[in-house]
Amino acid sequence: MNGVHDMGGMDGFGKVEPEPNEPMFHADWESRVLAMVRAMGAAGAFNIDTSRFYRETLPPDVYLSSSYYKKWFLGLEEMLIEKGYLTRDEVAAGHAMQPAKALKHGKFDLSQVERVMVRGKFGRTAPAPAKFNIGDKVRAKNIHPATHTRLPRYVRGHVGVVELNHGCHVFPDSAAMELGENPQWLYTVVFEGRDLWGEDGDPTLKVSIDAFEPYLDPAS
């Protein structure tokens, strides 16, 4: 979706402000939100792409004015409500009032913690041979799906070169909508900065994205 989250190349956000001796969390609630997101994801309430999609669908003004973990919290709450794990009445009351919905992997307890500290695996068996080879020229499709996609706007319509092939991975556009993993080949595609940003662009710049095969057309 063409949301405010897709901000590569936008102007006006100001300077980057590194914070000396930044703490890991700026408030205790941030750590609780992080833990709840990891736990409910591991319990099978949602996948990583669905959780990203819920954050992206926050109203633009809310997205831009909320801190990082606030966005995580708002996305988590809405996602759990919409998927039937809790109700708006329960959120308003601050207590459980309805029977629980079964979780795919069961309750998240202490025995599960080790598991979430290892990154998930996203590589899958290839259903078909790769269409593109390293060195091929490809054009990022000019597509504007209203649902989740990982093809950023700033490369759409531009030609780049396939540099790496990462194998077949879970396709976020499908997984986010709970339409299955639909594995697709994943490539690193590198673009010349001036192709993306025009004559005024930095002549020494190259930018790559990781692009799933359905995002790409052959280019000569």
Binders of another protein among residues 73 to 102 (CB under 8 A) are 73, 76-77, 85-86, 90-91, 94-96, 100
Residue 189 to residue 207: CA distance in whole angstroms: 8
CB of 139 to another protein, least distance (A): 16
Q: Report the nearest approach of another protein to the CB of residue 220 (Å).
A: 24
Pick the closer one to another protein by CB: 20 or 220: 20
How far is 116 from 114, CA to CA, in rounded Å? Answer: 6
Size, binding site for another protein by CB under 8 A? 89
Q: Which residues on neighbouring strands pair with residue 190, listed in sequence order?
A: 161, 208
Does 36 bind another protein (CB under 8 A)? Our answer is: yes
Q: Is 1 in the site for another protein (CB under 8 A)?
A: no
Euclidean distance between CA atoms 111 and 109, whole angstroms: 5
Amino acid at 133: N
Distance CA 33, CA 44 (A): 17
Q: Contact, 56 vs 49, CB < 8 A?
A: no
Q: Which residue of 169, 174, 176, 185 would you call a contact of another protein, by CB under 8 A?
A: 169
CB contact at 8 A, 147 and 122? no
Q: Which amino acid is at 155?
A: V
Q: Output the smallest distance, CB 188 to another protein, in A.
A: 7
Question: Between 19 and 61, whose beta carbon lies closer to another protein?
Answer: 19
Please, which of residues 177-206 interact with another protein by CB under 8 A? Answer: 186, 188, 190, 193, 196-197, 201-202, 204-206
